[in-house]
């Protein structure tokens, strides 16, 4: 069936099978390979994107459910070549090792800071507990979210 | 993991949805947090899926007639953050805030979760403790059941083919003396045991208690015996009063927790839940 999605600000119309998962639509149909397929069981969060401003796991949603909606992936986060403060903080705080979880971590962290601009460490850990880092580099990720919070609040 | 293909419709009104579901052949899709993983594993392989996610009249939270009324497709995030829910039935908001993770709470819905009747789901414990009612509808009309009558068994509810949940309501004025305490399976966030408690108290002594238990058995239940034993107790008497919470139950046993361990954790977490609720009462 035909779906029209506003993808990182650009409208895209595609003919898809209803069973096509949003993550497969993004990676294979739209060529956006930023969101990753980690576990395929909606546990790891590597496929996290925003749909109408809400962080979702794109492996647990069909592309047809995104018809008519705004989808934001990690590729759409930097504005005119300027990194989003969360991206910049992940860079500065060395919040990635292998980088596989990073796109999802950043999208989940962005959601957290939009809803709670000044989170405690516990709130940060609760806010990103849908995302797993296989390198177990959580401490630097938490540091990055704190750094992004203080930059965004400044 | 690719689901078996299916026909997809996304009606814009409840009437249209009920008409599409009337044959009993189509599967309703709410937030999809249980159904979509099951379809990917082909544990579910419906030929038709009716998406309830584009029906504005199913998504609301309002306070009227002495109850907080929640439309079936209100997400866990909506329930957790609603000022109405937080002020009128804080136990439900606290429970919703502990479901899964933020991505699941953004998509998952109260109606979808309750209709799925997962024995380890969080909501049933709070809904039992709060005396919830479930309104269901099909193309022919609607009916309202108590949550006790709605939950029949593991993954089994009183829903007839063609019926969906339209609303879940709980009495308003739930009071601050409440707590949801769960021991969670760390990967999935599901409850190994989850205890929802609502108490009233005077001078540190429990005057009334309602206790809902999830995760322990094939379906969530109200611990009537524990509720009675808690009346008249102060903090010092809680452990003794909740000691019987697992008496006579047929406890679940899986790779995460044996039946004996679950029963012991139910006693431990029930004690903590009641103590926390009493401290806030």
- Asked if A41 and B100 come within 8 Å (Cβ–Cβ), the reply is no
- Asked if B5 and A67 come within 8 Å (Cβ–Cβ), the reply is no
Per-residue pLDDT, B260: 97
Per-residue pLDDT, A40: 85
Q: Nearest CB to B104: which of A111, A127, A130?
A: A130
- Asked if B100 and A60 come within 8 Å (Cβ–Cβ), the reply is no
Instruction: Summarize the confidence of residues A41-63 as an average pLDDT.
Output: 96
Buried b (16+ CB within 10 A) or exposed e, B199-238: bbbeeeebeebbbbbbbbbebbbbbeebbebbeebeeeeb
Per-residue pLDDT, B264: 98
Q: How far apart are CA B210 and CA A50, in angstroms?
A: 39
Alpha-carbon distances, residue A94 vs A46, A125, A134, B151 (angstroms):
18, 17, 15, 49
pLDDT band at A154 (very low <50, low <70, confident <90, very high): confident
pTM over 0.80: yes
For residue A26, give the nearest of A70, A63, A65, A64 by alpha carbon.
Answer: A63
> Structural domain of residue A91, as residue ranges?
85-153
- β-pairing, A70-72 with A2-7? parallel
Residues A10 and A71 grouped into a single domain: yes
The pLDDT mean for chain A works out to 96
Residues A129 and A107 grouped into a single domain: yes
Distance (Å) from the alpha carbon of B105 to chain A's nearest alpha carbon:
9
Residues A67 and A8 grouped into a single domain: yes
Helices (H) and strands (E) in chain A, counts: 5, 5
CATH number of domain containing A70: 3.10.20.30
For A3-22, the pLDDT digits (tens) are 999 999 999 999 999 999 99
Q: Is A153 exposed, middle or buried (0-12, 13-18, 19+ CB in 10 A)?
A: exposed
Residues A92 and A67 grouped into a single domain: no
The pLDDT mean for chain B works out to 97
Of A17-21, A39-43, B33-37, B240-244, minimum mean pLDDT range: A39-43
Residues A103 and A130 grouped into a single domain: yes
Per-residue pLDDT, A41: 87
* Domain-terminating residue out of A56, A76, A96: A76
- Beta partners for residue B214, in sequence order: B194
Question: What are the residue ranges of helices labelled H in chain B?
Answer: 14-21, 35-40, 76-81, 83-88, 90-96, 102-107, 110-116, 123-130, 147-150, 224-230, 238-242, 259-280
* Domain-terminating residue out of A30, A55, A76: A76
3-state secondary structure of A110: helix
Please enumerate residues of A whose Cβ is less than 8 A from a Cβ of B.
Answer: 1, 17-19, 21, 40-43, 45, 48, 54-57, 60-62, 64-65, 67, 108, 111-112, 127-131
Q: How far apart are CA B250 and CA B256, in angstroms?
A: 16
Residues A96 and A65 grouped into a single domain: no
pLDDT band at A53 (very low <50, low <70, confident <90, very high): very high
Per-residue pLDDT, B271: 98
Per-residue pLDDT, B120: 95
User: Beta-carbon neighbour count of residue B191 at 10 Å?
Assistant: 28
Per-residue pLDDT, B266: 98
Per-residue pLDDT, B144: 98
Within its chain, how far is the Cα of B138 from the centroid?
A: 22
Residues A7 and A54 grouped into a single domain: yes
CATH number of domain containing A112: 1.10.150.120
For A138-149, the pLDDT digits (tens) are 999 999 999 999
pLDDT over threshold 80, residue B83: yes
Distance (Å) from the alpha carbon of B185 to chain A's nearest alpha carbon:
12
Residue numbers in B near A123 (CB within 8 A): none
- Asked if A130 and B101 come within 8 Å (Cβ–Cβ), the reply is yes
For residue B180, give the nearest of B239, B121, B117 by alpha carbon.
Answer: B121
pLDDT band at A153 (very low <50, low <70, confident <90, very high): confident
3-state secondary structure of A56: strand
Residues A10 and A70 grouped into a single domain: yes
Distance (Å) from the alpha carbon of A93 to chain B's nearest alpha carbon:
24
pLDDT band at A28 (very low <50, low <70, confident <90, very high): very high
Q: A28: Cβ–Cβ under 8 A, 6 or more apart, which residues?
A: none
Q: Nearest CB to A108: which of B33, B100, B102?
A: B102
Question: What's the CA angle centered on B27, arms B25 and B30, to 5 degrees?
Answer: 160
Q: Nearest CB to B8: which of A56, A64, A111?
A: A64
> How many structural domains is chain A composed of?
2
Residues A99 and A126 grouped into a single domain: yes
pLDDT over threshold 90, residue B189: no
For residue B100, give the nearest of B194, B175, B28 by alpha carbon.
Answer: B194
Residues A71 and A14 grouped into a single domain: yes
pLDDT band at B188 (very low <50, low <70, confident <90, very high): confident
Residues A47 and A106 grouped into a single domain: no
Proportion of chain A above pLDDT 90, given as a percent: 95
pLDDT over threshold 90, residue B256: yes
Per-residue pLDDT, B245: 98
Per-residue pLDDT, B1: 84
Question: What's the CA angle centered on B280, arms B208 and B95, to 5 degrees?
Answer: 85
Q: What DSSP state is assigned to residue B52?
A: -
Per-residue pLDDT, B187: 79
Mutate to test the interface with B, among A27, A28, A50, A62 (most CBs of B within 10 A): A62
* Domain-terminating residue out of A76, A102, A131: A76
For residue A63, give the nearest of A27, A116, A99, A9 by alpha carbon.
Answer: A27
Q: Nearest CB to A61: which of B107, B188, B189?
A: B107
- Asked if B101 and A19 come within 8 Å (Cβ–Cβ), the reply is no
Q: B203: Cβ–Cβ under 8 A, 6 or more apart, which residues?
A: none
Residues A35 and A92 grouped into a single domain: no
Locate the chain B residue with the closest alpha carbon to A104.
B103
Proportion of chain B above pLDDT 90, given as a percent: 98
Per-residue pLDDT, B186: 83
Mutate to test the interface with A, among B32, B102, B182, B189 (most CBs of A within 10 A): B102
Instruction: Summarize the confidence of residues A36-57 as an average pLDDT.
Output: 95
Residue numbers in B near A54 (CB within 8 A): 77, 106-107
Per-residue pLDDT, B219: 95
Distance (Å) from the alpha carbon of A19 to chain B's nearest alpha carbon:
5
Q: How far apart are CA B90 and CA B180, in angstroms?
A: 10
For A69-110, the pLDDT digits (tens) are 999 999 999 988 899 999 999 999 999 999 999 999 999 999
Per-residue pLDDT, A85: 97
């Amino acid at each position: 069936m035909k779906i029209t999605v506003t993808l990182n600000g650009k409208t895209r119309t595609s003919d898809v099978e209803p069973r096509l998962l949003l993550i497969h639509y993004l990676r294979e149909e739209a060529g956006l390979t930023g969101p990753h397929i980690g576990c395929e069981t909606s546990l790891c969060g590597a496929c996290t994107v925003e749909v109408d401003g809400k962080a979702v796991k794109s492996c647990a949603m069909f592309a047809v459910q995104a018809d008519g909606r705004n989808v934001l992936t990690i590729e759409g986060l930097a504005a005119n070549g300027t990194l989003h403060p969360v991206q910049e903080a992940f860079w500065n705080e060395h919040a990635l090792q292998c980088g596989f979880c990073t796109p999802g971590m950043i999208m989940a962290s962005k959601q957290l800071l939009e809803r709670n601009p000044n989170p405690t460490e516990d709130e940060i850990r609760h806010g990103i507990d849908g995302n797993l880092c296989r390198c177990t580099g959580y401490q630097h990720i938490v540091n990055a979210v704190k750094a992004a919070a203080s930059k965004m609040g400044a | 993991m690719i689901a078996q293909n299916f026909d997809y419709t996304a009606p814009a009104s409840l009437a249209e949805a009920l008409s599409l579901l009337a044959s009993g052949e189509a599967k309703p899709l709410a937030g999809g947090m249980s159904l979509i993983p099951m379809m990917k594993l082909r544990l579910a392989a419906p030929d038709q899926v009716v998406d309830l996610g584009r029906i504005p009249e199913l998504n609301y939270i309002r306070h009227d007639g002495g109850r907080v009324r929640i439309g079936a497709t209100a997400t866990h995030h909506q329930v957790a953050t609603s000022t109405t829910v937080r002020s009128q039935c804080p136990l439900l908001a606290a429970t919703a805030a502990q479901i899964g993770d933020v991505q699941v709470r953004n998509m998952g819905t109260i109606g979808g979760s309750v209709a799925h009747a997962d024995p380890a789901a969080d909501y049933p414990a709070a809904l039992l403790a709060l005396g919830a009612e479930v309104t269901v509808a099909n193309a022919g009309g609607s009916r309202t059941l108590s949550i006790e009558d709605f939950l029949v068994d593991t993954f089994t509810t009183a829903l007839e083919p063609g019926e969906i949940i339209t609303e879940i309501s709980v009495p308003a004025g739930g009071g601050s003396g409440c707590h949801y305490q769960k021991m969670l399976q760390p990967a999935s966030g599901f409850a190994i045991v989850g205890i929802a408690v609502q108490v009233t108290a005077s001078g540190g002594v429990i005057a009334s208690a309602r206790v809902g238990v999830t995760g322990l058995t094939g379906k969530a239940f109200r611990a009537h015996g524990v509720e009675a034993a808690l009346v008249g107790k102060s903090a010092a008497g809680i452990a003794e009063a909740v000691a019987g919470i697992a008496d006579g139950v047929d406890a679940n046993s899986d790779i995460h927790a044996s039946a004996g361990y679950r029963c012991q954790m139910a006693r431990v977490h029930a004690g903590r839940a009641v103590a926390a609720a009493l401290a806030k009462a």
